[in-house]
Chain A
């Protein structure tokens, strides 16, 4: 993916993908801050929004615009090895095979973190996730311990993600700008990625919000 000079900008990241990305980038640190400052009401709310965003992103990974789909950017181990050896040849714009796994790892860690938080309870038995009533105190405390530790796994994955962005920035490619504007320069022969219509995003958002609401209400209507 060379050829920046004289190339035309193509639409890469659609608005829903960018919105979800930046909302997560804000809410993950916010979740940490509220958890460490005894603001568990806000911590729960932040978690519920993140759950909705995550669910949306998973649906969007199936029915969203081309570059946002898992089928576009998730490659098997063979694909990753070929990419690392520089044998992949021309690739569509967007996540490279290694970056695709970075995205999956971050989404998986976030999913696990939200799942643990739903069942966690604090040491006093006062503050708790909306599903903690389904399990006993000792199990909920155990899950809360993992919830604390897993945060640092997320920090490590995000550090790797930012490290990769800085690596490309040093080589003259600004990936952050593409995530802000949604556009990036590509070779003239690059096919413009297919963009999903807005109604599909509305549908995915409605489904994601409904599931997140149901879970936040403790699986009760």
Chain B
């Protein structure tokens, strides 16, 4: 792919991304009141979307990734984000290099 078409491709992708970040606002402000079911659905958006960014990784990978996610989940019940990230990373390193998973 030549340089110019790569540039246009990146800018098109940037525009598409910006459209998704403005689109919901434009749609929602056209509606006067929020029906309670829609509000309940909107409240569920973060959990529903972010789940899709880890669940397939858990089910389609080996036990190294699974153990990392399980360890991180347990640690996150008590400790903040960065410690949880470290725990998941350490579990994956152990699983791969000490146990050869």
Mutual binders A and B: no
A interface residue numbers (CB < 8 A to B): none
B interface residue numbers (CB < 8 A to A): none
